[in-house]
Structures are given as C-alpha cells and as structure tokens.
Amino acid sequence: MTPMPKVDVVIPVYNEENDLPKSIPVLRDFLISDAFPYDWQILIADNASVDNTPAVSRRLEDSFPEVKYVRIERKGRGYALKQVWGASTADVMSYMDVDLSTGLDAFPPLIKAVAEDGFGVATGSRLARKAQVTRSLQRTVLSRGYNLIIKAALWTRFSDAQCGFKAINREVAQRVLPLIENNNWFFDTEVLVLAEKMGYRIKDIPVRWEEDPDTRVKIGSTVSEDLKGLWRLRRKQPWKARHT
C-alpha cells in the first residue's frame, strides 16, 4: 500500500498570543477528523514575537503531540516560511493565517491538488468563481486592482496572489525558494509567479474568507512593497536565469 503523503501545516505568527490558543485547537480538531485523510503536523513558525507567543506556543506543543513550535529570530512572514518550508521533509508544505480567516473546508482540496492531482502549487482564491468573501470595499478594490496589475505586468494566470492559504510540492519548493528575494508579504506573489513561469501547474481553490479586523497588514507599505516586487520580477525575470 502506498503511504499517505505527509503534510506540514505551517502557521506563521508574530505577536499572536491571543489567536493561537483559539485557532490551533480548532485546526487540530479539523485535521484529526475524517475530512482530512493525510499524515500531518502543525508547525507554529514564530518570527521574532516579543509578546507571550513563545510561552503560549510551547503550552500548545506540550498539549498536542502533533503541534511543533519553531522560533525564528527574525521578523518577516516570508522569511519564516522560507526557513520552515526549506527545512521540511514533508511531501507537501502548506501554510495558513493564524486567524483562520479562510474556511477550513477548502484545505483538503488544496492539499489534494498538490498531493494527488499533479499540481506544483495550490492557492486559495477569493476572486475565483464560487468564492464567498466578506471584506471591506477598500480591500476588495485594492485586491482586484493588484491582481489585474500582476496579470498585465507578468502575464500570469492565477487569480489571487495574496490569499494566506497555500500548498506546495516539496520538489517545487526546493527549486523556487532559493529564487525568492522577498521576506515579507510579497512572498506569496513571488511563489506563484516563479512557480508558474518555471512551468509548474497552479490550482486556484475557491474559498470562504472573512476579513480579520485585527489584521497586521499595513495597506500603504504593503502596496509599495508589492509594486516594487513586481517591477523587480519583470526586470530581472529570475526564472529565465535558473530554469533549466
């Protein structure tokens, strides 16, 4: 019998002492249910939190054998994911935001796309048909505008670059991660652009998504970072230099 694929479920966090004890048990209960048929572990990737996140994470690690805590002494969600995914021996690496703003019912098809259906990357999409989204008008306009800019600048096909809900094949990760320069929020876009340009198939998974009023995303600086990142990718085209 072929063993079930192993899946790392990474939760990148910075100062999330309040959300962690609420979300990790909910996520664990979902993963141990019949809805998720894979071998898995949860990795809390703490990128230099300065609140009680380390203590809270260690309590969760002590309480649940499937939960592991990883401390990374440097800020940046992208940096944390690069470190944890890069060290992983799982067949599929994934991540989701700690607030669980994306409905967990989309997680099994996200993993199935990579583990069984031959996709290199799968990403949650709030802009795909059948997605159900609750968010402010301002963020809706910004998100749609940003994704249109990506398509115009780089001729990509995926529909939503920024949803914090992704999975990647280990082989694809090993090829893509060394090319990624961004250590923050643009990491998501860079993963998808590089994977697609290097010839890997990307699966858009429609999701239920509800905006977190306590989001750590700062709109102004994130927009600036994203536009600079897109210009860098368009100018340098790293996939041409390294794709053989």
Assigned domain for 79 exists: yes
Task: Tell me how many domains the chain contains.
Answer: 1
C-alpha 78/C-alpha 180 separation (Å) is 9
If 0-12 CB within 10 Å is exposed, 13-18 middle and 19+ buried, where does residue 128 land?
A: middle
Mean pLDDT score, 231-243:
86
Q: Quick one: pLDDT at residue 244?
A: 47
Q: Are 189 and 162 in contact (CB under 8 A)?
A: yes
Q: What is the CATH number of the domain that holds 120?
A: 3.90.550.10
Assigned domain for 1 exists: no
Q: What is the span of the domain harbouring residue 201? A: 6-242
Q: What phi and psi values does residue 81 have, to the nearest 5 degrees?
A: -65, -40
Assigned domain for 42 exists: yes
What's this model's pTM, rounded to 2 decimal places? Answer: 0.93
pLDDT, one tens digit per residue, over 53-102 is 999 999 999 999 999 999 999 999 999 999 999 999 999 999 999 999 99
Assigned domain for 34 exists: yes
pLDDT category at 196 given cuts 50, 70, 90 is very high
Assigned domain for 53 exists: yes
pLDDT, one tens digit per residue, over 127-175 is 988 999 887 777 788 888 999 999 999 999 999 998 999 999 999 999 9
Assigned domain for 220 exists: yes
C-alpha 103/C-alpha 192 separation (Å) is 21
Tokens encoding 81: 């994911």
Residue 216 pLDDT more than 60?
no
Tokens encoding 61: 């690690």
Tokens encoding 107: 């997680």
Q: Are 35 and 108 in contact (CB under 8 A)?
A: yes
C-alpha 56/C-alpha 37 separation (Å) is 28
Q: What percent of the chain has pLDDT over 70?
A: 95
Assigned domain for 213 exists: yes
Assigned domain for 232 exists: yes
